[in-house]
A and B are shown apart, each in its own frame.
Chain A
C-alpha cells in the first residue's frame, strides 16, 4: 500500500523520535522535485538519500552550535516546559469540569489534545523557518537560497531546526499514552502502525497550512497577519469537529483543513467501527495538501522579482 511505502521511506530518516515526519516531508520535496525537473537528469543526481544526508549533517552541526550556548539552551528548555505545562493546565481546568462534550468524554478529549500536540511537532521542528521567510523576502536576503544546486524549499527549511518542538513532542507522547490507557485502546502492531501513519498524515496538514500562509509573503506585505491567523487556527485542532456548526465544520475540513490535524485521523483509532471516509482518505488528502502548498511556495519563489540589491 502507498502508506506503507511512505512509512519505510520515513524510517530511513532516523533523525528523531518522529523520524517518520522528516522522511515523509523529504519524500514530498524530493518527489515534487523529480516531477518538475528533468533538468537534474543530466547533472549529478541528487536523490532522497542525498537530501537526508545533507539534512542530518546540517542538523548535527546546528545542534552542536546551539548547545555551545549553554545558558541560552537551558533557558529555552525551561521556557518550553513552562509553555507546555501552562497549555496543559488550561486544558485540564477547562475540560475537567465537563463530563462529556457531544459524546466525547474527558479522556477522549485528552487523546485528541495529545494527538494534536504530536502532530504539530514536525511543523515546529523542521519548518519553523517559514516564520522568517517574509523578513528574508522583504530584505532581499532570500536570494542566497537560490544560488545552490539544491531544492530551494529544502535548503531554506534545512537552515532552522527548532529544538523547542521536542519538549512538546515529549509532552504529547506522555499524555497520549495516559489517555490511551484510560480509554483502553490496547496495543497491537496494526494499531501502532495506524497511529504512526495517521500522526504523520495529521502533521502534513499543519505543515501545508503554514507553508501556504508563509508563501503569501511573495505576493503581499501583510503576510505576517496571515501566518498568525493560521497559527491561531491550530488551537481549534484539539476539539472534535463534530461540535462545530456545519459552516465551521465545512471551513475546517475543506478550506483550512484544521480538522485533519487531530479529529479525522484520530477517529481511525477512537471509533474503529464507524470511521468516516474522510478519515480513511486523510493520508492521501494530506499528501495532496502538502504537495499543493509546496507548489504554491515554489511558485512564489519563481514569481518573486528579487528587486533591490
Chain B
C-alpha cells in the first residue's frame, strides 16, 4: 500500500514522543505503580528430540538457540492509570506481563512493581497484584464462586469488613447474584471471565493485569465487563494493565497505550495523539447505482476528496457517499504493518 512508506516516517516521530513522555513522567518519584528500565528477556530454546531416549538426551544436551523476546523496554505506569498494552501476537506482551508478575526473571534491566522487585519477592508482589488470563480460569473449577471468594479471602488474609465492602461494591456494579452460587465449571465463558475479574480485584490489589479479558465474548458481555473494569478502576483507584487485541476495549477504557512489536516498545503515549498522526486519513466509501462499492483511503493533505468523487461520478452514477474516520483499529493495524523499520 501507499500508506506503508509514509507510516515508517510517522513511527520515527512517535519514537521521539515516547522518550519525552517517559522522562517527563519519570520525575514524579513515588507515584509509579510500575517502573521498567532497559528490560531485556532472552529465552534459551532447546532443540528438542523425540521419545524417552531423546528426552533423556535433552537433559544433558547443550543444543540451545537464543531468542530475545523483549529488547530494552523502558516504561513507567502511574498509580491508578489504565494502560492498553498492545502488540501483534508474539510481540513480547505476555513475557513483559510475566516479568511484572514475578513469574519470569528479566535477563537484564530493572523492574519495580509497587516498589518491589517482582522476581525476587514473588509472594510479596502477589499480595498487591491481581491477574486475569482471558481463557484460563484461576478459580477452583468445582466450587461455587462464593466459596472461591472465601478461599481467596483467607489466602490473601483480607479483613472481613473489607471483604464485605468489596462484595457490596461488586453487586452495585454488576448483577452477581445469579453466578455467586454456581460452580465455575457450569458457567458460560462470559460468566467465568466476569468471575475471574471479580476474583482478581477481591483483595483490592494496587495493580490488576488483564490479559485479553473480553476474548470470545458477545457484545453485551463485552460492554458489561468494560463498564465493570472502568467502575472498579474509578472506585478503587486500581492501576490496570490491559492486554488486548480488541480495540473496542482500548477505546472504552484506556487513555494511554503502549505498543510493543518484536520485543521493542514502538509507541507509548495518549491514544488520541496516535489517532491525530493518522487523522489526515479518511476512508471514502462510494456506493454506485449498479450496486458496486468502492473504498479508498485518502490522505487529505495530498488529495482533495471532492476531486475523487467527481472523477468517479463521471464513470458511474453514485448512489451514496460515506466518509469514515480512521478507527484505532486501523491505526494499530498500520503501525503493526509498518513496524519493521
User: What residues of chain A have their CB less than 8 Å away from a CB belonging to chain B?
Assistant: 37, 39-40, 42-44, 46, 53-54, 57-58, 61-62, 65-66, 140-141, 143-144, 146-151, 159, 219-223, 225-226, 302, 305-309
Given A146-B103, A147-B138, A222-B52, A40 and B124 touching (CB < 8 A)?
A: yes
Interface string of B215-257 (1 = CB under 8 A from A): 0000000000000000000000000000000000000000000
- Of the candidates A65, A150, A306, which one forms a contact with B155 in the assembled complex, judged by CB atoms under 8 Å apart? A150
CA distance A221 to B55 in the complex (A): 6
Given A53-B154, A147-B131, A222-B51, A141 and B43 touching (CB < 8 A)?
A: no
Q: A148–B126 contact, CB under 8 A?
A: yes
Closest to B123 in A: A149
CA distance A220 to B103 in the complex (A): 20
Closest to A221 in B: B55
Q: B154–A54 contact, CB under 8 A?
A: yes
Closest to A53 in B: B154
Q: What class of interface size applies to chain B in its complex with A?
A: 35 or more
Q: A54–B151 contact, CB under 8 A?
A: yes
CA distance A159 to B58 in the complex (A): 30
Q: A309–B123 contact, CB under 8 A?
A: no
Indicate if B71 sits at the interface (CB-CB under 8 A).
no
CA distance A307 to B41 in the complex (A): 12
Closest to B144 in A: A65
- Of the candidates B102, B123, B133, B147, which one forms a contact with A144 in the assembled complex, judged by CB atoms under 8 Å apart? B133
Interface string of B73-112 (1 = CB under 8 A from A): 0000000000000000000011000100111110000000
Indicate if B142 sits at the interface (CB-CB under 8 A).
yes
CA distance A57 to B43 in the complex (A): 39
CA distance A42 to B123 in the complex (A): 11
Distance in Å: Cβ of B137 to nearest Cβ of chain A: 8
Q: Can you report 27 A-B residue pairs in the complex whose CB atoms are below 8 A from each other?
A: A39-B120, A39-B121, A40-B123, A40-B124, A42-B124, A43-B127, A54-B154, A57-B150, A57-B154, A62-B142, A65-B143, A144-B136, A146-B101, A146-B122, A146-B126, A147-B103, A147-B138, A148-B126, A149-B123, A149-B155, A151-B123, A221-B48, A221-B55, A226-B52, A305-B104, A306-B104, A309-B133
Indicate if B339 sits at the interface (CB-CB under 8 A).
no
Closest to B157 in A: A44
Which residue, A140, A146, A149, has most C-beta atoms of chain B within 10 A? A149
Closest to B69 in A: A307
Which residue, B54, B55, B105, B211, has most C-beta atoms of chain A within 10 A? B55
User: B102 — which chain A residues lie within 8 A by C-beta?
Assistant: 146
| In the complex, the 4 A-B pairs of residues with the closest C-beta atoms, listed nearest first | A222-B55, A309-B94, A220-B55, A149-B126
Given A44-B127, A144-B138, A159-B140, A149 and B55 touching (CB < 8 A)?
A: no
User: B54 — which chain A residues lie within 8 A by C-beta?
Assistant: 222
Indicate if B56 sits at the interface (CB-CB under 8 A).
yes
User: A57 — which chain B residues lie within 8 A by C-beta?
Assistant: 150-151, 154
Indicate if B277 sits at the interface (CB-CB under 8 A).
no
CA distance A66 to B102 in the complex (A): 34
CA distance A191 to B157 in the complex (A): 42
